[in-house]
Amino acid sequence: QVQLVESGGGLVQPGGSLRLSCAASGFTFSSYAMSWYRQAPGKERELVARITRFGGSTNNADSVKGRFTIARDNVKNTVYLQMNSLKPEDTAVYYCNAKGAAWGVMGYDYWGQGTQVTVSS
């Protein structure tokens, strides 16, 4: 049974930091590129950050460059999103995504249930 379980969300003041975690199980974690997406009320889901299978390459959305860092631990089967200098516009539900990136799992795509991040004073 595939599971992606996010944690670490919450309420934080502008300028503060949070670290999100996504624990994966039920599939070969290192065969998947991992991403964080977010969706604010009334807006479409957008890509925040992506990391390749072994962490050799990452990509961040322009809106979070220099503030957010994605990382993964293929031993713990966990992907992280370190969020610094948070702004009110970062308020959203954050979702973990796993996308198959190896032979035999291309096309597989899994989502977590999301974790709420609220940036407010």
Are 94 and 115 contacting, i.e. CB atoms less than 8 angstroms apart? yes
**Bridge partner residues of 74 (DSSP):** none
Contacts of 56 (CB under 8 A, 6+ apart): none
Quote the pLDDT of residue 118.
98
Quote the pLDDT of residue 14.
98
Model confidence pLDDT, tens digit, residues 36-59 = 999 999 999 999 999 999 998 999
Quote the pLDDT of residue 24.
98
Quote the pLDDT of residue 115.
98
pLDDT band of residue 104 (cuts 50, 70, 90) is: confident
- What are 30's two structure tokens? 């290192």
pLDDT band of residue 107 (cuts 50, 70, 90) is: confident
